[in-house]
A = this chain, B = another copy of it.
Amino acid sequence: MTDTDTRRRARGGGGAARRAERTAVRIECAKYIERNIPVFEVLNEEALEIIETNAETLLWEVGVNFPSNPKALDRWREAGAEVDGERVRIPRGLARELCKTAPSSYTQHARNPERNVEIGGKGLVLAPVYGPPFVRDAEGGRRYATMEDFRNFVKLGYMSKWLHHSGGTVCEPTDVPVNKRHLDMLHAHMTLSDKPFMGSVTEPSRAADSVEMCEILFGKEFVQNNAVMTSLININSPMTFDDVMMGALEVYAEAGQGCIISPFIVGGAMAPVSVAGTLTQVLAEVLAGIAYSQLIRKGAPVIFGTFVTSIDMNSGAPTFGTPEASMILYGAGQLARRLNLPFRSGGGLCGSKLPDAQAAYESANTLNAALMGGVNFMLHACGWLEGGLVSSYEKFVMDADQLGILHRLAEGVKYDENAQAMAAIREVGPGGHYLGCEHTQANFKEAFWRTNLLDYKPFETWYEEGARDTQALASLKVKKMLEDYQQPALDPALAEALAAYVANKKASMPDAFT
């Protein structure tokens, strides 16, 4: 059976599935971005070489820690590293050499093949906010997230045209026991959306459950031969690879599933206060992490991750949309491309408590830097608020609207005869007006990106309609999207098998809330 056969079998199912597909509303979803513009690079060759040399120096002279993970230490020892307790010292060049078996890009499959994404190269894949324990909306304010919130955010992601990926922990469903959450979360991504998604990383066993659920959804053979998840493996900076995260990485890499290997850095706390110093540490950490993924399984798909915020030295708060964070993003992108690896960074990051102007300035600064800096996978592209403590309903749709701008910018400038528009300029001439001319009539529908949320109305109309600000418009949009939501078709037999798996797994465990 070929991959395609497996996929068809897994998704198409019998007549019931075909009927369900016919009656379902088709939701518009843009293809992932393929860049046709240059990348913005801040580091010159000399700076890059210094950072690369220094990172190798750190890996050998300082080394990295792999605590409570004897198997990892064995792997490193066999590969030629010097292991002393939990410290692993990696000889100059070894980590970089090991990274060479990682693919420069990979396809992450979705259950709807039209939603497959290519991660790496000139691609940019957009995924929503990940991790917040709280949610906020205009009516209910800030509160602990529940599974209902989680399902709502998956639905919003499914309905968002410019979002290519359903993400992972779109919020932390605190009303479900910790040891069972991942089952409900994956089930929501698999059944409420048909976009690609992320697996659980909070325990190796939960990663294994994620793989098993994918085997039900996609078919076992298909999962063996294809990446159907991209999961987030954070490095415990500085230079520490904790056993829980490494355990999840081991499961996913062995299963050939995609992982982001990502330092998580609040600059000045988990890395030096300088951009160049932080980049050096980021590179050393990612080299060690990706090398380790290749020790588990050569060719395992991985992403060079960089999550770095600056810090407010007055309050100790992480800060977002700052120039230092942008510089690190640009520099890390250069380092990732020199390793020929997909790059993850950016997002609609902000520190604001509300989806207000601060949130938008900070988020736009980061979104623009991520596009310019050549990010391939952007987590937190929409919905992130308050330094990642909060998933915001309104900000989700506000950011998601802005993501359309990135799509258009990435296309670059056309200069064919139609784009040159010489006939139009000749036709209109000095003092004329273009609105009625033939070229305008032929092109205006596609000429300009248009918001699907923001206010472009005349002042008087806007005033009469209640003088609403962006949050108010977004609040209405959230309600409308959730009302209009229709579940994508899924073979009832698969749906039943997934539900049964979740029920059985849950029944086999006591509830745990910590």
Binding site for B on A (CB under 8 A): 37-38, 40-43, 46-47, 50-51, 54, 57-58, 61-65, 87, 236, 238-240, 267-278, 280-281, 310-317, 319, 321-324, 326-327, 331, 351-365, 368-369, 372, 386, 389, 398, 402, 405, 408-409, 412-415, 418-422, 424-426, 428-435, 439-440, 443-445, 447-451, 454-459, 462-463, 467, 469-471, 474
Contacts and interface: CB of A to CB of B under 8 A. Distances in A.
Contacts of A310: 447-449
Contact of A327 (B361, B413, B474): B413
Contacts of A41: 38
Given A274-B421, A413-B331, A471-B357, A311 B430 contact: no
A411 to B, nearest CB: 8
Given A40-B40, A54-B420, A324-B408, 13 more contacts: A47-B413, A50-B415, A61-B426, A268-B440, A310-B449, A312-B456, A321-B405, A353-B459, A354-B467, A357-B357, A361-B364, A362-B454, A368-B368
B365 A363 contact: no
Contact of A429 (B239, B352, B433): B239
Contacts of A360: 356-361, 364
The winner among A50, A51, A322, A434 for most chain B CB atoms within 10 A is A434
B323 A405 contact: yes
Contacts of A474: 357
A43 B412 CA distance: 8
Contacts of A326: 409
Nearest to A327: B413
A414 B280 contact: no
Contacts of A431: 65, 236, 238-240
Top 6 A-B residue pairs of the complex, sorted by shortest distance between their CB atoms: A277-B421, A364-B364, A360-B360, A272-B421, A273-B447, A239-B430
B455 A351 contact: yes
A41 B372 CA distance: 11
Contact of A458 (B65, B274, B315, B409): B315
Given A47-B413, A425-B238, A398 B448 contact: no
A195 B294 CA distance: 59
27 contacts: A43-B413, A43-B415, A50-B415, A57-B422, A58-B422, A64-B430, A65-B430, A236-B431, A270-B433, A272-B425, A272-B439, A273-B439, A273-B440, A276-B419, A280-B421, A280-B422, A313-B445, A316-B435, A322-B408, A324-B408, A327-B413, A356-B470, A358-B469, A361-B361, A364-B368, A365-B368, A386-B459
Nearest to A352: B455
A366 to B, nearest CB: 10
A82 to B, nearest CB: 14
Contacts of A421: 272-274, 276-278, 280
A313 B319 CA distance: 38
A299 to B, nearest CB: 28
B62 A425 contact: yes
Contact of A58 (B364, B408, B425, B449): B425
B239 A353 contact: no
Given A420-B54, A448-B311, A434 B274 contact: no
A277 to B, nearest CB: 3
A322 B358 contact: no
A414 B449 contact: no
Contacts of A470: 352, 354, 356-358
Contacts of A312: 448, 450, 456
B420 A50 contact: yes
Contacts of A361: 360-361, 363-364, 398, 402, 454
B274 A419 contact: yes
B425 A456 contact: no
A467 B267 contact: no
B276 A428 contact: no
A238 B432 CA distance: 7
A462 B422 CA distance: 56
B469 A324 contact: no
Given A315-B457, A322-B448, A456-B315, A412 B42 contact: yes
A360 B365 CA distance: 10
A266 to B, nearest CB: 9
A76 to B, nearest CB: 14
A359 B357 contact: yes
B430 A54 contact: no
A59 B459 CA distance: 38
A434 B357 contact: no
Contacts of A469: 354, 356-358
B358 A47 contact: no
